[in-house]
Amino acid sequence: MKNLLVILVLIAFACTSSVQKKESQNSDPLTLDKMIMEKSIYDFKLNDIDGNEVDFSQFKGKKLLLVNVASKCGYTPQYEDLQKLNEEYGEKVVILGFPANNFGGQEPGTNEDIKQFCSTNYGVTFQMFDKISVKGADKHPLYRWLSDKDLNGWNDKEPSWNFCKYFIDENGELKQFFASSVNPMDDEIINLIKS
């Protein structure tokens, strides 16, 4: 009898919780999903490779090229072209590098290792960030925004390998996704920067 009473109390509690949850979702127009959907690129804050917080609101009015990077990839030489792009067009576009170890374990190092590698081998001076995940269950919210059309307005493509690129215009709108094979100095990227 005691067990039956405990079971009935648990069932009643579960039903009440479920009803309250549905009511709160229906009555609250600012659900978590809705708040995420309204988020813009300028709402993000991430740590740079040195651990300092970078508020993306500082990029308002600027074109951005976001790239998931890795130190031990066949595309790693694109660091050189990203740096060249930064030197030639840095006043027109901000390059943001996001180290990620999602593809073939090709970015195994610490932030300090990555920073040293980029500086020594490619003279990287563009903005580099803390290592994050760019796909999968632990995908960083920034890359969730970049690769979910319900959040960014049109694009569902997530990085398929290292050195995929997302171009954002000066109004904070995602304009283009480029696969790893597209070089940072490609005419299509240059034309977007110049437009």
For 134-145, the pLDDT digits (tens) are 999 999 999 999
On the question of pLDDT at 29 being above 50, the answer is: no
3-class DSSP assignment, residue 100: strand
> Which of 30-34, 40-44, 54-58, 116-120 bottoms out in mean pLDDT, i.e. has the lowest?
30-34
Q: Could you write out the three-class secondary structure of 64-75?
A: EEEEEECCCCCC
For residues 5-23, give the mean pLDDT: 45
HSE at residue 16, side-chain half, CA atoms within 13 A, is: 6
For residues 70-96, give the mean pLDDT: 98
Is 15 annotated in the active site? no
For residues 9-31, give the mean pLDDT: 43
3-class DSSP assignment, residue 76: coil
Check residues 33 and 93 and name the one with the higher pLDDT: 93
Per-chain mean pLDDT for the chain: 87
Predicted pLDDT at 39: 87
For 106-159, the pLDDT digits (tens) are 999 999 999 999 999 999 999 999 999 999 999 999 999 999 999 999 999 999
Q: Could you write out the three-class secondary structure of 27-51?
A: HCCCCHHHHHHCCCHHHCEEEECCC
The bridge status of strand 174-178 relative to strand 165-168 is antiparallel
Check residues 33 and 132 and name the one with the higher pLDDT: 132
In the chain, pLDDT over 70 holds for what percent of residues? 81
On the question of pLDDT at 5 being above 50, the answer is: no
The one catalytic residue among 15, 73, 118, 164: 73
Residue 79 backbone dihedrals phi, psi, to 5 degrees: -55, -40
